[in-house]
Amino acid sequence: MSTTLAATPSQRSHLGPMLIIGVLFFIFGFVTWLNGPLITFVKLAFQVSDVSAFLVPFAFYLSYFCLALPASVVLRRTGMKKGMALGLFVMAIGAAMFGQFVVARVFPGALTGLFVIGAGLALLQTASNPYISILGPIDSAAQRIAFMGICNKLAGALAPLVFGALVLSGIDNIDQQVKAAPDPAARDALLNAFAAKVHVPYLVMAALLVVLAIWVVRSSLPEVKPAGANSESGIGHRDGSIFSFPHLWLGVLCLFLYVGVEVMAGDAIGTYGAGFHLPLGQTRFFTTFTLGAMLLGYLAGLALIPRFVSQQRYLALSAVLGVLLAIGAYATSGYVSVGLVAALGFANAMMWPAIFPLAIKGLGRHTEAGSALLIMGIAGGAIVPQLFVHLKQHIDFQLAFVVLMVPCYLYILYYGLAGHRVGQAQS
């Protein structure tokens, strides 16, 4: 039986719910950050171009745009707790689909499986992000989300290592064997064997997601009433509609651009490294370096926010660091340039934890809808990498990288300095 929580600042012990949500963040961190090595995997397994391979993050992140608002409707009927469990079940279906279609080497089917996984995550994130934001005082939400981020990025750092060991081991040799195959039948046999390596891991993942869904339903995780936890007091709005919160809409764009740069630094880094003709056996691990930098960024955020710096000021500082690192990556080459791209993980770490609570602050009864709009912004992870992979066909890949990244960070800087206050009554 679940209990109901109004999540007021006076409530002191939220350790149990935070641990449960932390497990969920670990799970969708692991699943999300498989996209980087999956780009390398599908490029070989399906023999597709970079543009087609980048449909992996496109299909995955586009599902957030399509399903976040329906997810908010579902959550109103099921409650956040059952909604999270439902999201895990949907993810399990998607994982099973992906494994089956990859073994059959049906690329559109594999992309559909990734879309379904993303759909489950859209439901899970639409519930879990506002949940953790309003579980305690909104002004310290970035600190709580940072803890969730550590769980998420720890899983993300492990994901490429596990996937690399189970699926991508010996990929350079396999690539050479495929290229040297004496006839199409021998080539297809090699590719079929390589694709089949993903089947069992994804079936195991599907089974674990089902187990976790049952665990969440049977857990003591309390229900949170967003309207009671995130009141509109102190914010002057005349009609009280969702359109009367400009800081939310500016935040949606900010989150869209943030997820775009996060995916560029995490998932596209392998393709970026390949631009310097680095071997596949090395580029498959680059996502782990970015996630390691993000972990360090979360630890720094936990130590500094809100005791020494506000979440909005830290967001602005992070954006400035992002601009400097992106320019540095453009000005260098080889492993140094790749290292600076990986270091963007440190700059990116505390952006989501700051943007999300700033954008939903004071939404009251609109918290679920506002959260859904923000989750739709995750589609930035679909669009920005697609712009990169198309742009680099016409200009140098480093130039394509920097001309996309710097404007995104400059807008994030604006939101941290001023955008989050637009339309709000000044205290």
Residue 6 placed within a domain:
no
Q: What is the pLDDT of residue 231?
A: 53
Interval 221-262: pLDDT, tens: 776 655 444 455 444 444 568 888 999 999 999 999 999 999
* pLDDT tens, position by position, 272-309: 999 999 887 787 789 889 989 998 998 888 888 778 88
- Cα(324)–Cα(397) distance, rounded to whole angstroms? 18
Q: Can you give the pLDDT at residue 309?
A: 87
- How confident is the model over 326-360, as pLDDT tens digits? 999 999 999 999 999 999 999 999 898 889 888 98
Q: Does the residue 229 lie in any domain? A: no
Q: Which residues are CB-neighbours of 48 under 8 A, at least 6 positions away?
A: 42, 107
Q: How far apart are CA 309 and CA 369, in angstroms?
A: 29
Q: Name the pTM for this structure.
A: 0.83
Share of residues in the chain with pLDDT > 70 (%)? 89
Is 227 within the bounds of a domain?
no
* Residue 105 maps to a domain: yes
Ranges 72-76, 205-209, 222-226, most confident: 205-209
Q: What is the mean pLDDT of residues 197-201?
A: 94
Domain range for 401 is: 11-219+237-421
- Is 322 inside any structural domain? yes
Q: In this predicted model, which residue has the larger pLDDT, 198 or 126?
A: 198
CA angle 25, 384, 91 (to 5 degrees): 35
Report yes or no on 266 lying in a domain: yes
Q: What is the pLDDT of residue 367?
A: 76
| Distance separating alpha carbons of residues 298 and 83, to the nearest angstrom | 27
* pLDDT at 16 > cutoff 80: no
Number of domain units in the chain:
1
For the purposes of burial, counting CB atoms within 10 Å of the CB of 379, is it exposed (0-12), middle (13-18) or buried (19 or more)? buried
CATH number of the domain that residue 150 is part of: 1.20.1250.20
- Max mean pLDDT range (204-213, 284-293, 361-370): 204-213
| Residue 372 belongs to some domain of the structure | yes
Looking at per-residue pLDDT, the higher value among 58 and 372 belongs to: 58
Confidence check: pLDDT of 202 > 70 = yes
**Taking all residues of the chain, what is their mean pLDDT, rounded to a whole number?**
86
Q: Is residue 5 part of a domain?
A: no
